[in-house]
């Protein structure tokens, strides 16, 4: 496998936070604000008013109800804007299908990073806007930083990703994700751990040879010219991917987990190079944000 290209600084000029304005999404805003400060980015905060919000309202009340919804959303957006003083930002109030509006904003504004907040551990896909956020994860092509319910409610003023976990199964999308993880490690002078999980039982084959082969493949992902302050750690474990990745993140007190994302192939669900159930478990239970980078 070729080494990832990570010789230049990441370009994160525009960051978008998609929020449903619920209290749990403020943590995502904190991380987005910290990253935007670090990269001198412009921060966009968008809320989308969808037709479903008035679906059960009698037609004669649509006008007044729509006005009330818009006024409340504008007030909440202004309140969020007051927390972004000193940072170039723009508040957006969109209408229509949420995933369509977010995707359109990404294309129109040249967004380099989308930040989503999630809450709730029960059931697959119960993200900040339920299945809507799941659809966003499936469709969006730029990197996505998902801040799950296990993440602390406060993010530092300046994002400090000092421990980064990159998990891979060596799929073709691994190179793009590895490049992103390596570049972030360079930017923040972070310790980088590359993790691969062997799903089959090592006892059935030569475990030492399997581990050595996979460690070598992990090492090959890191270019020799990568300006990392310390040698990346390569870890190969057997077992359930979600459990082992979470264990690796917990043992190292990870600040970020990075995964590769395949081109859209499934009708629903976040398309990551680990299974969607694994991705959901990581997002739901990790104590740090999870970043997915599409190949």
Q: What is the DSSP letter of 53?
A: G
Question: What is the structure's pLDDT at 67?
Answer: 80
Contact, 167 vs 281, CB < 8 A?
no
Q: Judge residue 279's burial from the number of C-beta atoms within 10 Å of its C-beta, 0-12 exposed, 13-18 middle, 19 or more buried.
A: buried
Asked if residue 128 has pLDDT above 50, the reply is no
Contact, 120 vs 149, CB < 8 A?
yes
Give CA–CA dist 53/189, Å, rounded: 45
pTM (2 d.p.): 0.85
Asked if residue 25 has pLDDT above 70, the reply is yes
The alpha carbon torsion through 148, 154, 155, 158 (nearest 10 deg) reads: 170
pLDDT digits (tens, 9 = 90+) for 76-119: 899 988 989 899 999 999 988 888 999 999 999 999 999 988 75
Question: What is the structure's pLDDT at 289?
Answer: 93
Question: What is the structure's pLDDT at 11?
Answer: 84
pLDDT digits (tens, 9 = 90+) for 195-227: 999 876 655 567 788 889 999 999 999 988 887
CATH code given to domain 14-147: 3.40.50.620
Phi-psi region of 222 (alpha: psi -120 to 50; beta: other; left: phi over 0): beta
Q: Quick one: how many helices (H) and strands (E) in the chain?
A: 8, 10
Q: Judge residue 152's burial from the number of C-beta atoms within 10 Å of its C-beta, 0-12 exposed, 13-18 middle, 19 or more buried.
A: exposed
SS3 149: coil
Q: Which of 217, 236, 224, 233 shows the shortest CA–CA distance to 170?
A: 217
**Are 14-147 and 163-294 the same fold in CATH?**
yes
How many other C-beta atoms lie within 10 A of the C-beta of residue 277? 13
Q: Where are the alpha helices (H) located in the chain, listed in sequence order?
A: 26-39, 62-81, 98-109, 131-139, 174-188, 207-220, 241-251, 276-285
The alpha carbon torsion through 231, 272, 294, 29 (nearest 10 deg) reads: -80
List the domain boundaries for the chain: 14-147, 163-294
Asked if residue 139 has pLDDT above 90, the reply is no
- CA 116-122-251 angle, to 5 degrees, is 70
Contact, 259 vs 177, CB < 8 A?
yes
Question: What is the structure's pLDDT at 205?
Answer: 64
Fold that domain 163-294 belongs to in CATH:
Rossmann fold (3.40.50)
Q: Which of 186, 188, 167, 189 shows the shortest CA–CA distance to 178?
A: 167
**Which has the higher per-residue pLDDT, 149 or 130?**
149
Contact, 292 vs 272, CB < 8 A?
yes
Residue 248 binned pLDDT confidence (cut-offs 50, 70, 90): very high
Question: What is the structure's pLDDT at 121?
Answer: 42
Determine the straight-line distance between the first and last CA of the chain, rounded to whole angstroms. 15
Q: What is the CA radius of gyration of the chain?
A: 20
């Amino acid at each position: 496998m070729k080494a990832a290209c990570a010789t230049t600084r990441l370009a994160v000029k525009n960051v978008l936070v998609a929020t449903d304005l619920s209290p749990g999404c403020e943590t995502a805003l904190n991380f987005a604000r910290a990253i935007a400060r670090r990269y001198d980015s412009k921060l966009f905060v968008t809320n989308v008013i969808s037709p479903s919000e008035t679906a059960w309202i009698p037609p004669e009340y649509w006008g007044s109800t729509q006005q009330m919804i818009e006024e409340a959303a504008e007030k909440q957006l202004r309140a969020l804007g007051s927390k972004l003083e000193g940072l170039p930002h723009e508040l957006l109030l969109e209408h229509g299908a949420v995933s369509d509006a977010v995707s359109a904003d990404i294309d129109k504004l040249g967004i380099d990073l989308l930040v989503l907040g999630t809450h709730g551990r029960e059931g697959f896909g119960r993200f900040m806007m339920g299945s809507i956020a799941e659809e966003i994860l499936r469709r969006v092509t730029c990197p996505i930083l998902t801040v799950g319910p296990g993440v602390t409610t406060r993010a530092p003023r300046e994002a400090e990703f000092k421990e980064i976990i990159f998990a891979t199964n060596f799929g073709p999308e691994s190179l793009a994700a590895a490049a992103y993880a390596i570049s972030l490690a360079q930017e923040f002078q972070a310790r980088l751990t590359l993790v691969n999980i062997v799903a089959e039982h090592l006892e059935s084959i030569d475990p030492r040879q399997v581990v050595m082969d996979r460690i070598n493949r992990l090492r090959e992902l890191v270019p020799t010219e990568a300006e990392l302050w310390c040698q990346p750690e390569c870890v190969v474990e057997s077992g359930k991917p979600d459990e082992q990745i979470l264990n690796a993140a917990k043992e190292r007190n990870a600040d970020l987990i990075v995964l590769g994302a395949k081109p859209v192939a499934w009708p629903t669900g976040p398309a990551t190079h680990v299974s969607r159930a694994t991705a959901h478990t990581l997002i739901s239970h990790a104590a740090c944000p999870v970043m997915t980078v599409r190949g």
